[in-house]
Homo-oligomer: A and B are copies of this chain.
Amino acid sequence: MSDTPSSVAPTRAPLNGVNTPVLFATINAVKGTPALAKFQFRASNRWVSGTFSETRVESFSGAGGEHNHVTEFRYAADHPNVLVGEDRAPTPIEFLLHALATCITAGIGNIAAARGITLTSVQSTIEGDIDLQGILGLSKTVRNGYERIRINFDIAGDAPPEKLREIVEQSRARSAVFDVLTNGVPVDVTVNAA
């Protein structure tokens, strides 16, 4: 998410829409009380029909307490017509691309602010290659998920290109979603059937 206060001279003024003083205060608070860093994010999903289902994102815990999002967020997912869905929403696997792009981009905003660099533009394109022989059960050697993901950033701001590249690299190195997608995470699946 950001540099630590010890690794960079804090910029005290808000920048890039980032409240930099609050950012550094947050990091210092967690530094003093590491238990504040324990977060749990949650969602609930309801199947509607076919490949279509809806997710609600409402609350999370962290910073020593329970929090409700400002509003209840709802998102759907579906399969496209060519994959026997009705395309009422993107496929689940497309949301992984959204998660990765937005995670690294949020970090870019924070890190640039921490380094006193004003950004003028950050855009990215992302693509993932997948061979559906895996999920269709037609191959024992083809994996179910993406074989590879590529993301390209176009970044502009009031710093030399090398400094801008370093911001992207630092954000990648600190990205929660990048970590999960590249290193994996244990997932427990339990079922109540009636």
Interface residues, chain A, with chain B CB atoms under 8 Å away: 1-4, 7, 16-19, 22-23, 26-27, 30-31, 34, 37-53, 55, 57, 60, 62-63, 67, 69-70, 73, 75-85, 87-110, 113, 119, 121-139, 142-156, 161-162, 164-165, 168-169, 172, 174-194
Contacts and interface: CB of A to CB of B under 8 A. Distances in A.
A181 B53 CA distance: 20
The 6 A-B pairs at the shortest CB distance, nearest first, are namely A17-B49, A17-B50, A77-B102, A145-B179, A47-B122, A92-B103
B109 A26 contact: no
Given A45-B98, A153-B189, 7 more contacts: A1-B135, A41-B91, A43-B101, A73-B90, A93-B99, A137-B174, A154-B192
A119 B18 contact: no
A47 to B, nearest CB: 4
27 contacts: A26-B82, A27-B137, A39-B132, A40-B129, A41-B93, A45-B124, A45-B125, A46-B123, A47-B108, A50-B113, A51-B109, A53-B106, A57-B90, A77-B102, A84-B110, A99-B99, A134-B176, A135-B174, A149-B186, A152-B192, A153-B189, A156-B193, A165-B193, A178-B187, A178-B189, A182-B185, A182-B186
Contacts of A105: 45, 47, 53
Q: How many copies does the complex hold?
A: 2
Contacts of A164: 191, 193-194
B185 A30 contact: no
B57 A98 contact: yes
Contact of A125 (B44, B51, B82): B44
Contacts of A85: 106
Contacts of A30: 132-133, 136, 138
